[in-house]
Amino acid sequence: MTFKDVIYGRRAVNFFDPDKPVPDALLTEMIEMAAQAPSGFNIQPWSLIVLKDKADKLRLQQHAWNQPKISEAPVTFIVLADMAGWKPGNPFLEKNFTEMVKSGAMSEDQREWFEGACQNLYGASEARTVAFACKNAAFFAMGLMLAAKSLGLDTHPMDGFDIDKVRAEFKIPENYWIPLLMSVGYFRSDKTLGPAKWRKSVDEITVRFD
């Protein structure tokens, strides 16, 4: 499968074969591939809650417009975006800084500059903090969908859910935004996928305001 095949072949599929599980090794490979996504300062402020148990998926589905694919798919992710990922003391930020020092990308005495830059970029307002978390997690999520397609899997991203109820149901701490849910599995062979959706043209995408 070429990269073009992956790009044009990926679809949000509504129907998953509930009897065809995703092998753990494939799921791991998919997540490892997506983890190659770029992120600001390589902070990687993303996490996944991986639901495979039917009862768990139904707990999620009740807060997500009762979308049946959530429980029909063998796996559904709750994608998390850590709004505190840039803050000093965050264990991954600390690990990241250590790794940067180790690789020579930064020196130990640049820590103050690094922390100040993160504060200015990501901590200046609530909107900036949410944007930081969600833009990076969205790159990761796109990677999940493309990796899945390349591995013969199908996916469905969803933001049709009640964030407060999902947070309460799964005891998700306040520092995480929940940008989307994603079901993963195999398209059900007795269903037909609708035609590919329209896309904006290059002319419609490119703009200027000055």
For residue 21, CA distances in Å to 17, 116, 190, 206 come to 8, 46, 17, 41
Check if the beta carbon of residue 170 is closer than 8 Å to that of residue 78.
yes
176-185 and 154-158 strand pairing: antiparallel
66: left (phi over 0), alpha (psi -120 to 50) or beta: left
| 19, two tokens | 């009897």
Report which residue's Cβ sits closest to ligand FMN: 160
Q: Could you say which of 9, 11, 33, 62 contacts ligand FMN (CB under 6 A)?
A: 11
Out of 6, 12, 31, 101, the only residue in the binding site for ligand FMN (CB under 6 A) is 12
State the minimum distance, in angstroms, from the CB of residue 61 to ligand FMN: 12
Subset of residues 67 to 126 that bind ligand FMN, contact rule: CB under 6 A: 67
Per CB under 6 A, 59 contacts ligand FMN: no
Q: How many Å apart are CA 106 and CA 118, to the nearest integer?
A: 14
Q: Applying CB under 6 A, does 135 fall inside the site for ligand FMN?
A: no
Stretch that binds ligand FMN, among 20-28, 105-113, 156-164, 202-210 (CB under 6 A): 156-164
- Binding residue (CB under 6 A) for ligand FMN from 81, 180, 185, 187: 180
Kindly list the residues in this chain that would bind ligand FMN in the complex (CB under 6 A).
11-12, 67, 157-160, 180, 197
